[in-house]
Amino acid sequence: MARQTIGYSPGQLQRLFAEYNAAYFGGIIPPYGVEYGSRRMTSRAGICYPGLQIIRLSPVLLGGDRRRVRDTLLHEMTHAWLAALRRPWGHTDEFKAKLLELRDLGAHSPVGNKELVYHCYRRAPRRRPYFLFRCRRCGARAISAVKRRYSCGRCQPQRFDPRFQMVFAGLVNRNGAPYQRR
């Protein structure tokens, strides 16, 4: 299956990498492959693998926002730059100083200081339904993320007992309000 192209095509990403490497990093970074990761890449906007010389960008978190793609690419290139200089390439003071330099040059345009270092773009939280169960005998309620058989803890507190099995009463949100599909 082909990788998703959001904002920039793979060829455009490679050209951006070469352009930024020459303009902001003095051409020090060796050639890296720049690509979009899978749709499962949802916890970070980008990741740099200096050993493999690959930069992956999240199609989910970056969406079609070209500025975010550009800023995240510069962020990951800063990791690659430090690795090329054989320095610690985490979020060190030198890393942060380079990002501030990029911001002052107008290359990197973060919204805030946290985004400057961690490029914390968030997707909308997934609203999934929870299952509401009621006891036929005493009316007790239970909410669970998993739909399975439950018995009432008030009527039989020790272990599952099919005589006190709770019945499915509908879908609810995490807080117990009726679930509304978007």
Tens digits of per-residue pLDDT, 40-93? 787 788 899 999 999 999 888 887 778 888 888 999 999 999 999 999 988 888
Q: What is the pLDDT of residue 2?
A: 47
Q: How many domains does the chain have?
A: 2
Domain annotation covers residue 38: yes
Same domain? For 41 and 104 the reply is: yes
Domain annotation covers residue 178: no
Give me 28's structure tokens. Answer: 């020090």
Same domain? For 97 and 155 the reply is: no
Class of residue 91 by CB neighbours under 10 A (exposed 0-12, middle 13-18, buried 19+): middle
Same domain? For 108 and 139 the reply is: no
Last residue of a domain, one of 97, 118, 139: 118
Same domain? For 47 and 95 the reply is: yes
Mean pLDDT over residues 31-37, rounded? 91
Same domain? For 30 and 110 the reply is: yes
Look at residue 20 and tell me whether its pLDDT is greater than 90: yes
Domain span at residue 110 reads 10-118
- The whole-angstrom separation of Cα 38 and Cα 2 is 10
Q: For residue 160, how many other CB atoms are within 10 A of its CB?
A: 11
Look at residue 166 and tell me whether its pLDDT is greater than 50: yes
Q: Is 68 helix (H, G, I), strand (E, B) or coil?
A: helix
- The whole-angstrom separation of Cα 36 and Cα 56 is 5
Q: Output the CA torsion 35→74→15→62 (10° steps).
A: 50
Same domain? For 26 and 80 the reply is: yes
Q: What is the pLDDT of residue 116?
A: 56
Model confidence pLDDT, tens digit, residues 82-121: 999 999 988 888 998 898 888 888 776 655 445 555 655 5
- Does an H or E element contain 84, and which? helix 66-84
Q: What is the pLDDT of residue 179?
A: 78
Please report how the helices 66-84 and 10-24 are oriented relative to each other, as an axis angle in degrees rounded to 10. 50
